[in-house]
Structure 1
């Protein structure tokens, strides 16, 4: 099936006029070289820790210490030095984030102990475009997301509805793609374990005031064996992957035009050897942005579209290899939006942001159809959505937000007051306020307190799905989930190269949407408190060694006090980076504590030995990455990565979260790549 692209001129039909914290330490930063020292091609960007700038918490550029959120900023250089292959590789090392392997195209990202089966409670933005599929509300952090085009990732932990609405329930991940023409064009080719090959490229051109930046990737992998199906029986399926991506950004004056296209196919590995299911996602994310700059006023208008086509086919074969069962599914959905933001700086201490939002979400096609059952041709719709008799549901929401930021006491005390009002036709109006206080007494320490609320509207699937087996059907009467959070952070600088951050948080959840024993979705009357804390320590070294004379280490530990099924209450990460003029080395140690039990754990497993097996115990994993460039002017770069060095074969849960048998972690693997730079 070919992806159905919406032309840009469709936006003219949108019913809204177009022109209407404290310090969080980065993953790694090295000693700044003196002006007389040569620039090192391996060197990570060096900034004073107090001067790191972020955009996501305020929709305006602010120093990270004054940002009204708990936030981590990760640069392209840091991503490359980690040897990260996927967004999951990066996120699992962030404090307060737990990534659960799912291996069907959608790894699960849980922030601060709040489970989300398809990542529908964590917002993902790419260049301001929400990456949220309209039916299921999900997005992927694994091979679906092109990582070689990322300039910076900002990870917000805690509600973000005061600016971003219902998708930013437990947190937000904002990706900024590369908008600078690269100094060199780059081509990278690689091979890896499990018969994996890939090819990436980055290029750009600048003509006068206009710039064009393009990047792409192609990869395929046979994948590793799953071992067991959802019933615990032997399975011969692999976690194979094929992915293609193409991204382009055009900038001219105050105009920006950007587009990302991803084509991702994977085998669904949880079935028995006699069954096979493949699924393919084709995703287009595009935007058009214009910025007016006046003396004190900045007006930014952005038009965007996000379109997803998903197809899958499922077969079951008899012993004689004849097809006994066949079904397929098609899903076409899109989100189209318009944002107009007015930012006014009264002076250097007073700043107000005002924004208007209009967004449409549409499902033009969705069905799961059985066409062969017990070897007999049938035409049986297994699943579909129906809204008031309409099998192609649509919805919209309108929103307005305002935020005022003030600096007092010689710019030491920051006060942020803001709120957003969202209007959905299916629900009552949702109001999401936020209050944040930041205080920085001097260059040694800073503090932050944030109070905020957020909501998460039900997905179309939760509202309108109809299944012929009456399992977990939709409920149009659902209302949004609610969350209230208080957060605090204190950061102390022992020196310019030695820092400690301590953070605490408490989230109060209510009205969460659930299904019990396969019954229709409903809002729970229970409330759930999720408290916890984070500790993060960073230190930099400049040594006299001949090799690896710049070293940086980062340690973070998170404790979440919650009994949610499959949640690890304790997570820990230790990252070490080392470099010199030729070599760059990284290792990252990740610890996931024992995961909570659940009432349904392994209830479907038919093999007694596996059903009794303890797959929720704690584990350690280790990743490493080595880069080598023969000399500073060399166009060649050789890299070697080792993933899961300890070869830890733990299993992670998949749906709901334990209704299927656990999903196997990727065994130890090696990646080898060679890059070439040219003008």
Structure 2
């Protein structure tokens, strides 16, 4: 492990983190058992509701769970959520598939951070890897099912809404750690409360050589590793009416699936900023938010010949921006009837995009491998305008809830899209509750799918594309054995049409085929107090999902088991993640050149076990030590690559261990 460089970053973090003294820390590290009936959620209806009354199927993960899991990435959190399968592209970045619906660059799952859509303007994607800073997250709300009735075309199969910390921490916290594969990191959280508002600041630095991939995409030996260099900084200014937030992330890694004589780096720099203002009247509240999300991506690819001479060089630059303005009006007629009205304006802009070959066969050249061109414009822009209306009503002493709403999106490239939703929730007593939800959603084609021009005639754009469509019927039944134990049964049925796809390298087109994807989920949650000397506060969760789809590389069966245990000094986490056998593919291993690997089946089921143990000398100590283990039993497992599935599989992380120390400045 390389330890020396970490000291420079620790010194920087200490120098930049102001110290906020806590008035009391008697219960600083305590977490009471939480009433499972009274979890508040915001994203399903843009109004705060109890989870049983929310008009979506939703899971919530809070900051405590993220920390105690020892989660390194957003993928670590999402993979333990019902109905979510994490896959890995051959560029080393993760994909999130919700309820069996493929999302190659996560363009069918919406990621929102503090109300700002994190969607890159050209490719339409985002990454749940080390690009997302975890130590500043207050909670994550994961919606499974269409969300276009409020959020438009990005929330096709689901939505992940992240809320960053809005309260000044009771004490400045600094964490440093080292781990396997030369992994080292540092993070901090701090803040200050003043007369005119709150200031909250957090940061994260990470460097890791990563584990070796073993084989390149054709099946030959490879020396490439999943190396990562990531830096993040987040700041918020908040008072009663105004909120300003900014997040900056700088993430670098390499394509791990090229041969050893090839190297392709990738660097993403993202800036997300928003300004929000809220008015509160007697029955009316108005919230306006202005935001921007900017992405700069750079690639460099090199190939060396047998004499170790540079034989090929290409580079790629991408610079895009997505800007938006949202105004939402909430009016409460009385305690039982509430209306939501919203206006949206969103703009996408491609500042620059090209993939250029400047050295080929050891000879200088200038050759554009890929560009975006719309009617001669190499930096196109587009926009959409939207309006949404939602009525929420409650009957029979608020035991029956009805939510009816729709959103209309207007794009210049194609006709308007209307996304309706109807949700009925019912809770006759404290013992059980139920939901029935119907809705439709769409996913607009990306600039890349519409306007890409390639010199190899491979998968070019098609400006005549129309949006993909989905219609979903969902049902949920929850039985509460007590305030701290429940059992959930859920069913869903989705009809998909107008898929945007390319067949045999031809231009993108809308498929005439339709797909029906039914499935169900089972989830059990419980928390209890034990009389043991150690680990006397315990919570556990189990979930199982079955998706009946033949989509290539999809695991029809997924399951998770999570166990949390703690006392005044120790906390312990154990997480089991199971993926059933992945569906076959007609092109599986078609381009693999090694006969032994060409016949190797890596689509079989597997399970991995993660654990995390923390120790604090006593409840008042500023020190905490943590040891975390990923893939505890060193399960060798692979992810058949998606888009395309014809290359050799991505090796997933073997056994690894992390050791960290946390200190709180009082």
One fold, TM greater than 0.5? yes
Does residue 530 of structure 2 align to residue 543 of structure 1? yes
- Aligned mates of 2:395, 2:196 — CA distance in 1: 39
Q: CA RMSD in A?
A: 1.0
Q: Which one of 558, 564, 573 corresponds to residue 571 of structure 1?
A: 558
Partner of 2:610: 623
Question: 8 Å contact 2:343–2:388 — kept in the other structure?
Answer: yes
Q: Is this contact kept in 2: 1:192–1:670, CA < 8 A?
A: yes
Residue pairs, 1:663-678, within 5 angstroms: 663-678=650-665
Which 10-residue stretch deviates more, 41-50 or 299-308? 41-50
What whole-Å deviation, never above 9, does each CA across 1:599-658 have from its counterpart, x for those lacking one?
Answer: 110111000110100000000100000010000110001000000112111111334141
Give the aligned partner of residue 179 of structure 1.
166
Please say which of residues 150-159 and 244-253 is displaced more in the overlay: 244-253
- Asked whether 1:254 is paired with 2:203, we answer no
Residue 46 to residue 340, structure 1, CA distance change in 2 (3 Å)? farther
> What's the offset of the Cα at 1:39?
5.8
Q: Deviations over 1:287-316 (max 9, x none)?
A: 000001101100000000000000010000
Structure 2 Cα separation of the partners of residues 108 and 41 of structure 1 = 36
Counterpart Cα distance in 2 of 1:170 and 1:332: 27
Contact 1:106 1:139 in 2 (8 A): no
The alignment partner of 2:625 has SS state of strand
Q: Is the 8 A contact 1:123 1:167 kept in 2?
A: yes
SS of the aligned residue for 1:109 comes to strand
Match of 1:48 among 35, 40, 49: 35
1:237 to 224, 230, 247: 224
- 672 and 103 in structure 1: CA distance in 2 versus 1, 3 angstrom threshold: farther
Question: Which residue matches 2:415?
Answer: 428
- 1:331 aligns with 318
Q: Secondary structure at the match of 1:238?
A: coil
Distance 1:629 1:397 in 2: 52
For these two proteins, the number of residue pairs brought into alignment is: 642
Alignment partners' CA distance in 1, 2:33 and 2:54: 20
Q: Which residue of 1 is the match for residue 22 of structure 2?
A: none
Q: Deviations over 1:474-496 (max 9, x none)?
A: 00000000000000000001233
In structure 1, the partner of 2:14 is none
| Counterpart in the other structure of 2:123 | 136
Report what 1:194 is aligned to. 181
Q: Can you give the 5+ residue segments of structure 2 that lack an aligned partner in the other structure?
A: 1-24
Matches of 1:498 and 1:632, distance apart in 2:
27
1:185-233: CA deviation from partner (whole Å, max 9, x where unpaired): 0110000000010000011011113110000011100111011111001
CA distance in 2, matches of 1:70, 1:541: 25
Tell me the TM-score normalised to structure 1 length: 0.94
Deviations 1:14-41 (A, max 9, x none): xxxxxxxxxxxxxxxxxxxxxxxx9654
Are the counterparts in 2 of residues 105 and 143 from structure 1 also a CA contact under 8 Å? no
**Using the alignment, how far apart are the partners of 2:459 and 2:91 within structure 1?**
21
Q: Is the 8 A contact 1:579 1:585 kept in 2?
A: yes
Task: Give runs of aligned pairs for residues 325-364 of structure 1, distance below 5 A.
Answer: 325-364=312-351
Match of 1:209 in 2: 196
Matched, 1:280 2:263: no
The superposition leaves residues 439-467 of structure 1 with CA deviations (integer Å, 9 ceiling, x where unpaired) of 00000000000000000000100000010
Which residue number corresponds to residue 11 of structure 2? none
- Answering whether residue 478 of structure 2 is matched by residue 491 of structure 1, we say yes
1:389 aligns with one of 348, 368, 376: 376
Among 33, 57, 67, which residue is 2:44 paired with?
Answer: 57
1:407-556 paired onto structure 2 within 5 Å: 407-556=394-543
Aligned to 1:21: none
> Aligned partners of 1:652, 1:577: CA distance in 2, in Å?
28
1:252 offset after TM fit, Å?
Answer: 2.5
* Rounded Cα–Cα distance in structure 2 between residues aligned with 1:464 and 1:245: 32
Q: Are the aligned partners of 2:276 and 2:287 in contact in 1 as well (CA < 8 Å)?
A: yes
2:629 counterpart (642, 657, 660): 642
2:150 aligned partner: 163
Instruction: Output the CA distance in 1 between the equivalents of 2:548 and 2:520.
Output: 9
SS at match of 1:234: coil
Select between 321-330 and 487-496 the one with higher mean Cα deviation.
Answer: 487-496
Tell me how far apart the structure 2 counterparts of residues 99 and 415 of structure 1 sit (CA, whole Å): 33
Contiguous gaps of at least 5 residues in structure 1? 1-37
Shift of 1:106: 2.8
